[in-house]
Structure 1
């Protein structure tokens, strides 16, 4: 059998991927089959690599396919060499050199990537697994993800890194012809946060100016639209500039706007919100209206109020980083009526302040009414709170995943701590992201009150409150801290409760996550940003939705679940057994009326109980009538 000549006429060969070729080279160089399977194949997407025997058969078949193509299309010298090897050994014995010659002569066997191919078909299992865990199962989904995220797309995929990301992007561009989609130019940026931010000059209204839109920190206005004095005092002052002494040292509108925003430097959430509103107005005034901010009239303000309802296409784009050239002031979904009302009120307050400091003579927004909104019966979307049974099963699932020693175990332990901070303590997303170890303290037992742990947080309106921390949450935090090489019981002077386990090796990331040395190097610095914390929770919800045994109704519910839903879950479940004033204090509600909404969330249970009661009464009435 071993010396039986190999058939030289084979059926049409299959197509092989880059991973297959790499595995065959390793096979020719006598790398052990288990090592080849571990390095190059994912059992979920490559069943032929499930066992050593199956993998050997697959690689031998591939070798024979390539040899057949080389006999048909290769040089006569290579063909004579292969035929002699087949006659002598029963099959072609290849070396690294002859395999390379065979590959060159058998290019017909190389598969072409298409958008629908799974990423595991083309990338190594470790990379493919990390992409799939972020909801990127195919090559087309990867291109969409890169284009949506921009130059820093790789930051959202743990342990990909900038260098590997560049390799992936280059490969996607090289195969754009067969994929049918391509990666946009700005995705090729190595790390846009480390590049100096270019200042973008906005020009007067006219042709398409969408490419000139830029965030407030990167805007430079021409003199004619700055609202200040031009060179040699050429009279380009805004028509609404106040005469006489101004209390600000502001030479133009940008200086005045930045002075107003500076008042909120110690309130990051308010600062982000107000920056968003004022930069939108500034960009619209300059590019659409062709006027300076300090020259806006009531008619201009009314026109902007209408613009808020339907932003133009040039001002909308997918959510991306502020340093991306594809950044736009509005998302494609536009603004809800409540958001439009908030924008008008924020701008009215900003102009009021500019009048108070004598930068503006008057406030045109005072003559503009707020957008009409509908007063909702329930201001909070508490219907997104999770049912008790589903929440309990999710907790157990997260705990089981966190107990794993696999590569996703540490991330699950961080995600479990994040989920329990919101679901057991009622924290908002940003409150949980900013929570620090020095704010967590042990409370000894007092009479009939058992010992407990409490966390001090600063919520909306800079209001401080104390929230309880459950035993399950404390255990999850301890496990997460062990992954970070820290001890929750013997912490450093300052450290975030939940922090990224992998920090990109970039200047910006290393600067953000400061190091502290106390005998050994420890990553303590800052924790997750609000967006990063949200991404961690959303990742966990996606994994639960795809891996846990759920009903179709539960899957649909989790598809729309946001991190804030876990705070609502706490409020809804706690309101059943805990006095409302206690729930109000934990959640940080200014009014008890707000907290009572969670009681109404149990109306489904009330209807169910009453329906049973009415049914029993109907049966009793029927029995009496008989």
Structure 2
């Protein structure tokens, strides 16, 4: 972006953009035309890269227009100077100083940005290309993206960092009057991902809300209304839930929030379960207070049935894109809603949580016991062959990873980290959570024993805190060694508790600093979302550069890290591992029976 005037109209239909102004300054400073075309103009939309003479004609015509405007609207001294220069040289010759004076004089004819204008009309080609690559083609769409995603909107656009995002937001706000839309006030907070966690949000009960509804917040920031807290609230106020058990309660819980926290505390040593159960309970609590107008400890069977129906199509104000829990734009549901399987899982989690609350005598009964599970198709719960990468596509992905992981450029370390993670999931069948928790001390070399060849195995902690050993391929081991070299560590002499995969460069955000810098060296690896972002980034880059068919490109575009686990399962089945060997090598895979005819593995617990 430049610091001067925007689109200039003189005479219609000839127009000049901010990019044109920057290019004209470069011409005045005697920068070669080919360099100007490369720096300021997009090769896909302008002919200037192949025809510098046309660029020169364009810029000289612009210069003449500016000079004419300056003669009309500028000072008499400037006009006399330009006329004298034109008489002497045939056309006015400009220096860097006189060009600035001409631009200032021409501002009276400057057009204003509109919401319908393409981003390329106002921003440099590189920024415009990155925005359009994410479907943001106009200034209005850019404002909508900022307001929809909040202060971290720039994370959805590759290589648009926080500082450049703030410049863009400031420019959009400066021209809000002509755009007709404006960026919300909280979009460019000092740190968009770290709003004060101590800031509690008071939920507004149903019936007391505005047309847009009341605010929503995650469990750790919720403040319940006194009459809907289910027990003793602040200063001794509150209303006891109608389903509260009489007599002694085994919990030191004053209200529903305390009871929920006591239940979740049982899973502090199981992070994945804790996240899942927290998500389901906070969704129910938010719905009960803001939609149903009742306390959690007052829910009836009818209320629970209504919530089950709500899960099929959550209200719009309950949905939003993924963002930090500290963000005011956090929402409990994704825009796509829940699949039937996820709805069934939610009901099962809530039924189990209420069962426990009944056992500890916080609740008198469990209304979820009378609620049937949502209807789902359970005819075959198996490895999804359609989600797995076909062998040919998987081979191309591996070749692409090999080529790019050898890069010595700035993206090389990230490619090597992505390759190590992808191969751990695709060759060893690890879940993404297991990759983030994997430690070097759990990776060991086993010598040959009879018919069993030597190799490396990794002990991982899976679902239900069950430990298992998985084989690590030679390619995966080489990728891990390369990744460790980027980290400046000796793979054969690892530090204690060092994670197998860890970011090489720590982002300068408070959350990242707390997680990595403030912790002991090498103690923290990737977060689940962080590693998912690395894998998604690699898939996106490969999708645009590999020689793929249309079907392969669509398949890779829709692939997730978990698809690699399905890939591992289908490839293992295709390899026809003998039944007497499979349980020893892949005990986590062959818990069910192998079905060669269907080409799938009937093992729900594997996924």
The whole-number CA distance in structure 1 between the counterparts of 2:140 and 2:88 is 47
Asked if 2 retains the 8 angstrom alpha-carbon contact of 1:414 and 1:480, the reply is: yes
Task: Please identify, of 333-342 and 47-56, the stretch whose mean Cα deviation from structure 2 is larger.
Answer: 47-56
Counterparts of 1:169-208 in structure 2, within 5 Å, are 169-175=169-175, 182-197=182-197, 198-208=199-209
Task: Please identify, of 300-309 and 127-136, the stretch whose mean Cα deviation from structure 2 is larger.
Answer: 127-136
The whole-number CA distance in structure 2 between the counterparts of 1:53 and 1:444 is 70
The whole-number CA distance in structure 2 between the counterparts of 1:211 and 1:158 is 33
Asked if 2 retains the 8 angstrom alpha-carbon contact of 1:115 and 1:181, the reply is: no
Q: How far 1:251 sits from its partner (Å)? A: 0.9
Q: How far 1:147 sits from its partner (Å)? A: 3.6
Task: Please identify, of 567-576 and 475-484, the stretch whose mean Cα deviation from structure 2 is larger.
Answer: 475-484
Q: Secondary structure at the match of 2:445?
A: strand
Asked if 1 retains the 8 angstrom alpha-carbon contact of 2:214 and 2:290, the reply is: no
Q: How far 1:174 sits from its partner (Å)? A: 3.5
Task: Please identify, of 467-476 and 312-321, the stretch whose mean Cα deviation from structure 2 is larger.
Answer: 312-321
Give 1:566's aligned residue. Answer: 564
The whole-number CA distance in structure 1 between the counterparts of 2:495 and 2:350 is 43
The whole-number CA distance in structure 1 between the counterparts of 2:505 and 2:530 is 12
Question: Which of 370, 376, 387 is residue 379 of structure 2 equivalent to?
Answer: 376
Asked if 1 retains the 8 angstrom alpha-carbon contact of 2:233 and 2:254, the reply is: no
Residue 293 and residue 516 in structure 1: after superposition, are their counterparts in 2 closer, same or farther (change >3 A)? Answer: closer
Question: Which of 293, 297, 301 is residue 294 of structure 1 equivalent to?
Answer: 297
TM-score w.r.t. the length of structure 2 is: 0.85
The whole-number CA distance in structure 1 between the counterparts of 2:180 and 2:188 is 19
Give 2:67's aligned residue. Answer: 67
Question: Which of 475, 478, 500 is residue 481 of structure 2 equivalent to?
Answer: 478
The whole-number CA distance in structure 2 between the counterparts of 1:233 and 1:245 is 19
Give 1:102's aligned residue. Answer: 102
Give 2:531's aligned residue. Answer: 533
The whole-number CA distance in structure 2 between the counterparts of 1:474 and 1:120 is 48
Give 1:48's aligned residue. Answer: 48
Give 2:578's aligned residue. Answer: 579
Q: How far 1:371 sits from its partner (Å)? A: 2.2
The whole-number CA distance in structure 2 between the counterparts of 1:372 and 1:242 is 32
Q: Secondary structure at the match of 2:356?
A: helix
Residue 558 and residue 212 in structure 1: after superposition, are their counterparts in 2 closer, same or farther (change >3 A)? Answer: same
Deviations 1:485-520 (A, max 9, x none): 444344333333333344332322211113578xxx
Asked if 2 retains the 8 angstrom alpha-carbon contact of 1:13 and 1:109, the reply is: no
Asked if 1 retains the 8 angstrom alpha-carbon contact of 2:34 and 2:49, the reply is: no
Counterparts of 1:20-99 in structure 2, within 5 Å, are 20-30=20-30, 40=40, 48-49=48-49, 59-60=59-60, 62-99=62-99
1:168 aligns with 2:168: yes
Residue 468 and residue 412 in structure 1: after superposition, are their counterparts in 2 closer, same or farther (change >3 A)? Answer: same
Q: Secondary structure at the match of 1:208?
A: coil
TM-score w.r.t. the length of structure 1 is: 0.83
Alignment root-mean-square deviation, CA: 3.5
Give 2:549's aligned residue. Answer: 551
Give 2:441's aligned residue. Answer: 438
Q: How far 1:282 sits from its partner (Å)? A: 1.1
Residue 231 and residue 475 in structure 1: after superposition, are their counterparts in 2 closer, same or farther (change >3 A)? Answer: closer
The whole-number CA distance in structure 1 between the counterparts of 2:356 and 2:167 is 51
Residue 444 and residue 182 in structure 1: after superposition, are their counterparts in 2 closer, same or farther (change >3 A)? Answer: farther
Residue 120 and residue 312 in structure 1: after superposition, are their counterparts in 2 closer, same or farther (change >3 A)? Answer: same
Q: How far 1:259 sits from its partner (Å)? A: 0.6
The whole-number CA distance in structure 1 between the counterparts of 2:67 and 2:327 is 49
Give 1:266's aligned residue. Answer: 269
- Segments of structure 2 that go 5 or more residues without pairing to the other structure are 1-9, 602-607
Deviations 1:567-624 (A, max 9, x none): 1112111222223565566666376326x25773379xxxxxxxxxxxxxxxxxxxxx
Q: How far 1:226 sits from its partner (Å)? A: 1.0
Deviations 1:404-454 (A, max 9, x none): 344443333332222212111111222223323333333344456554322
Residue 43 and residue 477 in structure 1: after superposition, are their counterparts in 2 closer, same or farther (change >3 A)? Answer: farther
Q: Secondary structure at the match of 1:280?
A: helix
Q: Tell me the matched-pair count.
A: 587
Question: Which of 301, 310, 315 is residue 313 of structure 2 equivalent to?
Answer: 310
Asked if 1 retains the 8 angstrom alpha-carbon contact of 2:227 and 2:238, the reply is: no
Residue 511 and residue 441 in structure 1: after superposition, are their counterparts in 2 closer, same or farther (change >3 A)? Answer: same
The whole-number CA distance in structure 2 between the counterparts of 1:176 and 1:49 is 34
1:226 aligns with 2:224: no
Give 1:346's aligned residue. Answer: 349
Residue 221 and residue 352 in structure 1: after superposition, are their counterparts in 2 closer, same or farther (change >3 A)? Answer: same
Deviations 1:97-121 (A, max 9, x none): 2111111233447784765736597
